[in-house]
């Protein structure tokens, strides 16, 4: 191993450095992190970065990770999402120490709020949302005090209890922290702690009509659970002083917040709100549409947990926002599938060939399942007189460097024989319908190879033995690099050709395909059985092509 390699292995990301310092200083016996999704949608690839980070950090340092549903907004949340999120985290390969819900802490949070009121650090404000916004000031001008800021403690306590009891309508009153209306950090200008919302909650039902805001739920939940390192994304940097303020004033367990850059990826939108629009407005078939950047979409498309974890490791943990090229994710899945996917032959756009000198009915040829695997198995593939090859593997008038089949030119059929094209048969419109070829019996693969050399090997299927399958070929869902930052609605930038469906002819071994099996269709890409399949109708999703064609395709246009 080289020194550079060793050096790389040793280098820690900034969060690992913090954790190591804290452990060395004896600040904690062990660390506790959390992953805190809001159950208002399915998880996307951005969340997987946070999952790998939070669970990975705890694993590395012998700590634990809680799963906490941040369910403080009754209107957008749903149990369907809770179940989906749990399935996705487990599929990624992680298990949480405890499953908690911020809503479990509603009573405790309420008590905290009364505590702050008693300490003169919170007050009930009757101002409207617009008035509160106006009095907030601007980053360069201080805010002005609300006329309700000086309400006395007893009155605040009574009003807050009345808020809880349901005496007021939505928006009539709020509870605010009494921090500093002239703080340069706008987050500290008396932030709202509670709002009134007469709405049904997916867990607490109708027991509450006041709900805590993010800033008064998140840090307190961290503290209740004794989270040591609360990792979130950079937009929460300005919230950190408030996070610390609440904990200090309540004198509760001192959890600490740390921030890292969220994952943004090219040709993708990465917000549940936007993904929900794609689902609701029918641009995709659901959250698990294989074109979606959701974990469930990637899984259905044939991504593996290993490939997503590899991706998360490669992008690392940074403190500055950036846009990651989606081809890095595609690279990771190819890397993994190349190792594990069984090879099969499937012809997408068939051209019939007849081997005029092949006298037998059929024979079975052994074909390697995975040349990348030292312990590869072999399957028996039927070979016969009439075969399909890809139409694009033949050219009647080939340019100089075309090494595949053309009149008079020889090519090898994968794991079978060398053939030569003798005659091109066309219909009345001039379309090629069939090729008459001869085969070289002595050229059988794996035998005492003849010394005839050919430049290319192509895949094939025996027509009588072939089974048909639907193949769904996906392209990027957006046609611009960063749809969310373009003018107008991001949906204007959807790629109209993100799905192409074709019927393909497959070797019969694929009849026995099972879910969870990954395949490489030779020269065509990686494929995975879709859940829409049935016994008599096989449907495959293309997980990815074999090489990165995107740049090449773009140049052609
Ligand atoms: P969205 O805007 O997509 O709804 P969110 O941040 O509101 O994202 P949450 O469910 O609140 O989604 O997030 C759960 C955790 O995942 C949070 O800690 C959040 O910081 C993290 N997270 C969300 N999106 C990303 C991303 N793109 N990259 C890294 N971490 C993310
Ligand atoms: Mg959120």
Cα(195)–Cα(414) distance, rounded to whole angstroms? 68
E strand residue ranges, 198-253: 210-212, 229-233
- Residue 449: the pLDDT is 58
Nearest protein CA to atom 2 of ligand 1, as residue: 271
* Separation in Å, CA 549 to CA 262, 329, 345, 475, 544: 27, 14, 21, 10, 10
| Among 16, 38, 470, 517, the one annotated catalytic | 38
Task: For residue 330, give every residue at least 6 positions away whose Cβ sits within 8 Å of its Cβ, in sequence order, or none.
Answer: 544, 548
- The predicted structure's pLDDT at residue 11: 86
CA–CA dist 284, 445 (Å, integer): 45
How do the pLDDT tens digits run along the chain, 557 residues long?
444 455 455 689 999 999 999 999 999 999 999 999 999 999 999 999 999 999 999 999 999 999 999 999 988 878 899 999 999 999 999 999 999 999 999 999 999 999 999 999 999 999 999 999 999 999 999 999 999 999 999 999 999 999 999 999 999 999 999 999 999 999 999 999 999 999 999 999 999 999 999 999 999 999 999 999 999 999 999 999 999 999 999 999 999 999 999 999 999 999 999 999 999 999 999 999 999 999 999 999 999 999 999 999 999 888 888 899 999 999 999 999 999 999 999 999 999 999 999 999 899 999 999 999 999 999 999 999 999 999 999 999 999 999 999 999 999 999 999 999 999 999 999 999 999 999 999 998 877 656 788 899 999 999 999 999 999 999 999 999 999 998 999 999 999 999 999 999 999 999 999 999 999 999 999 999 999 999 889 999 999 999 876 555 555 54
For 414-509, list the strands marked E by DSSP.
418-426, 432-440, 457-458, 461-462, 467-474, 499-506
Q: What angle (nearest 5°) sits at the alpha carbon of residue 440, between those of residues 435 and 443? A: 130
Q: Is 434 a catalytic residue?
A: no
- Other beta carbons less than 10 A from residue 493's beta carbon: 19
- Give the separation between CA 102 and CA 215, rounded to whole angstroms: 12
Q: Is the CB of 46 under 6 A from ligand 1?
A: yes
pLDDT of residue 517: 97
Res 1: pLDDT:
42
Is 272 considered catalytic here? yes
Residues surrounding ion ligand 2 at CB below 5 Å = 38
C-alpha distances in Å from residue 193, one per residue of 109, 121, 281, 489:
10, 11, 34, 33
Q: Which pairing describes strands 32-35 and 64-69: parallel, antiparallel, or unpaired?
A: parallel
CATH number of 346-459: 2.40.240.10
Cβ of residue 49 lying under 6 Å from some atom of ligand 1: yes
For ligand 1, the distance from its centroid to the CA atom of residue 44, given in whole angstroms, is: 9
Tokens 């069939």 belong to 434
Q: Does residue 270 have its Cβ closer than 6 Å to ligand 1?
A: yes
For the segment(s) 268-307+319-342+469-556, the CATH number from 3.20.20.140, 3.40.109.10, 2.40.240.10, 3.40.30.10 is 2.40.240.10
Cα-to-chain-centroid distance, residue 317: 17
- C-alpha 532/C-alpha 525 separation (Å) is 20
- Atom of ligand 1 at shortest range from CA of 270: 3
Q: Using CB atoms within 10 A of its CB, is residue 1 exposed (0-12), middle (13-18) or buried (19+)?
A: exposed
CATH number of 3-260: 3.40.50.620
Ligand 2 centre distance from Cα of residue 234 (Å) = 13
Q: Give the C-alpha separation, 111 to 88, whole Å.
A: 34
Quote the pLDDT of residue 453.
83
Ligand 1 binding pocket includes 47 (Cβ within 6 Å): yes
| pLDDT score recorded for residue 211 | 97
How far apart (Å, rounded) are the C-alpha atoms in residues 42 and 35? 14
Ligand 1 pocket, mutate which of 13, 50, 264 (most atoms under 8 A from CB): 50
- Residue 271 Cβ < 6 Å to ligand 1: yes
Paired residues of 265 in beta bridges: 324
Half-sphere exposure of 326 (CA within 13 A, CB side): 23
| Segments making up each domain of the chain, as ranges | 3-260, 268-307+319-342+469-556, 346-459
Helix (H, G, I), strand (E, B) or coil at 98: strand
């Amino acid at each position: 191993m080289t020194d550079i390699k060793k050096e790389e292995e040793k280098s820690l990301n900034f969060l690992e450095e913090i954790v190591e310092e804290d452990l060395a200083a004896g600040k904690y016996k062990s660390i506790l992190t959390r992953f805190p999704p809001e159950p208002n949608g399915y998880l996307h690839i951005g969340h997987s970065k946070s999952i790998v980070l939070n669970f990975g950090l705890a694993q590395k340092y012998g700590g634990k990770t809680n799963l906490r549903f941040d369910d403080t907004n009754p209107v957008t949340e749903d149990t369907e999402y809770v179940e989906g999120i749990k399935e996705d985290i487990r599929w990624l390969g992680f298990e949480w120490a405890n499953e908690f819900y911020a809503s479990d802490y509603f009573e405790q949070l309420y008590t905290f709020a009364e505590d702050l009121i008693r300490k003169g650090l919170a007050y009930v404000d009757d101002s409207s949302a617009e008035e509160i916004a106006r009095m907030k000031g601007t980053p360069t001008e201080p805010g002005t005090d609300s006329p309700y800021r000086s309400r006395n403690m007893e009155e605040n306590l009574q009003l807050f209890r009345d808020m809880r009891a349901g005496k007021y309508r939505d928006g009539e009153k709020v509870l605010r922290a009494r921090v500093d209306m002239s703080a340069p950090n706008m987050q500290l200008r008396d932030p709202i702690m509670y709002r009134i919302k007469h709405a049904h909650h997916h867990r607490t039902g109708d027991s509450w009509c006041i709900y805590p805001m993010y800033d008064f739920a998140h840090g307190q939940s961290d503290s209740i659970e004794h989270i040591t390192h609360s990792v979130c994304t950079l937009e929460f940097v300005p919230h950190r002083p408030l996070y610390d303020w609440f904990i200090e004033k309540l004198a509760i367990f001192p959890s600490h917040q740390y921030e890292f850059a969220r994952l943004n990826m090219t040709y993708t939108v990465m917000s549940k709100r936007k993904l929900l629009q794609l689902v609701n407005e029918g641009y995709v078939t659901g959250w698990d549409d294989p074109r979606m950047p959701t974990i469930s979409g990637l899984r259905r498309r044939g991504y593996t947990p290993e490939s997503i974890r590899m991706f998360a490791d490669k992008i690392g943990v940074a403190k500055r926002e950036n846009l990651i090229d989606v081809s890095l994710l595609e690279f990771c899945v190819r890397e993994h599938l190349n190792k594990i996917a069984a090879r099969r032959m499937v012809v997408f756009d068939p051209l019939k060939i007849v081997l005029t000198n092949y006298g037998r009915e059929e024979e079975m040829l052994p074909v390697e399942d995975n040349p990348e695997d030292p312990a590869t198995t072999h399957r028996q593939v039927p070979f016969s007189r009439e075969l399909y090859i890809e139409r694009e593997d033949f050219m009647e008038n080939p340019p100089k460097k075309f090494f595949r089949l053309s009149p008079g030119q020889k090519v090898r059929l994968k794991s079978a024989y060398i053939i030569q094209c003798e005659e091109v048969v066309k219909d009345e419109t001039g379309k090629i319908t069939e090729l008459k070829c001869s085969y070289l019996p002595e050229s059988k693969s794996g035998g005492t190879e003849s010394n005839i050399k050919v430049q290319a090997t192509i895949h094939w299927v025996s027509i009588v033995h072939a089974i048909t399958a639907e193949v769904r070929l996906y392209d990027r869902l957006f046609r611009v690099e960063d749809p969310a930052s373009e003018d107008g609605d991001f949906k204007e930038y959807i790629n109209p050709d993100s799905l192409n469906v074709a019927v393909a002819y497959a070797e019969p071994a694929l009849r026995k395909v099972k879910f969870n099996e990954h395949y490489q269709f030779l020269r065509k890409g990686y494929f995975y059985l879709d859940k829409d399949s049935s016994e008599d109708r096989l449907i495959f999703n293309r997980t990815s092509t074999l090489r990165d064609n995107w740049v090449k395709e773009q140049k052609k246009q």
